Structure 1
Amino acid sequence: MIDHVILTVSSFERSVAFYTQAFGPLGITMAMNFEGQDGHPDLKGFGDGKTIFFWLKEGKSNPDGMHIGFVAEDHGQVDAFYKAALEAGAQMIYEPRIFPEYYPGYYAAWVLDPDGYELELVHKS
């Protein structure tokens, strides 16, 4: 089980704006500014109102080998995320569609965030 993810991004300002818009349809919001001390970096935390599970750390980004998949409630949420992410500046990898090569009912969209991290939103039915 995963408790949280921390992405190192090249710009807090740009990435907070991007994720705020892209996560809007998912009910995920910017929830905490953690001010680091004693060598711990500053962090920006996103969550669902119950817990903070997605964090940004400013520094040298390295998106190679990183793929993050988020769960959607339905196909409409996948579509809304995809639209919001593109409007926020994401690059399209795959438009929302069913990916039968994974299994029937796997409906997903993939985008790249401003630092090149691969994000997927999937509804499995």
Structure 2
Amino acid sequence: MKRLFDHIDLRVRSMEQARPFYAAFLPAIGFSEYCETPIGIAFGTASEHPKPEFIGIIEDSQHNSNATRIAFWMDSKEELDQVALVVASAGAQNIEGPLFCPEYSPTYYAMFFEDPCGNRLELCSRFVNG
């Protein structure tokens, strides 16, 4: 299968705030391999590839969140609903949904939220029979 990305470096203002949130959220969506790095922490996918996809969390006390949003694909409404519970209990802020968003497409189902440092994130799915 073709890799669609190598990694995402995500900046957070406070590792103390962000670590517990991402330790709950990222494994729930498949980034189950945790490691400490010289510049932060990383969550990777379990893969046969010698360098699996990963998300690095890097502390930058000067980081200001902005309108950029990272959307994570969910295979079904049920999966999205399940991960939404994890996200909410992990301390997500400004939660919207899960809900249908027909303004995006007739089958778009999503949850919008922010991490404890204000980074905008989303869970989304598109399916025929909702």
TM normalised by structure 2 equals 0.81
Overall identity of the aligned pairs, in %: 30
Residue 88 of structure 1: which of 85, 90, 97 is its match? Answer: 90
State the distance in 1 between where 2:21 and 2:79 align: 17
Aligned CA-pair RMSD: 1.6
Note the C-alpha offset of 1:117.
Answer: 0.7
Shift of the 52–33 alpha-carbon distance from structure 1 to 2, 3 Å rule, reads farther
Q: 1:16, 1:30 within 8 Å by CA — same for their partners in 2?
A: no
AA aligned opposite 2:82: A
Residue 4 of structure 1: which of 4, 7, 15 is its match? Answer: 7
1:53 aligns with 2:50: no
User: Any gaps of 5 or more consecutive residues in structure 2?
Assistant: none
State the distance in 2 between where 1:114 and 1:82 align: 15
Note the C-alpha offset of 1:65.
Answer: 2.5
State the distance in 1 between where 2:120 and 2:82 align: 17
User: Any gaps of 5 or more consecutive residues in structure 1?
Assistant: 36-41
Shift of the 30–18 alpha-carbon distance from structure 1 to 2, 3 Å rule, reads farther
Residue 104 of structure 1: which of 93, 103, 106 is its match? Answer: 106
Paired residues, number: 119
Consecutive aligned runs of 4 or more in structure 1 exceeding 4 Å deviation = none
Q: 2:17, 2:117 within 8 Å by CA — same for their partners in 1?
A: no
TM normalised by structure 1 equals 0.84
1:15 equivalent in structure 2: 18
Note the C-alpha offset of 1:114.
Answer: 0.3
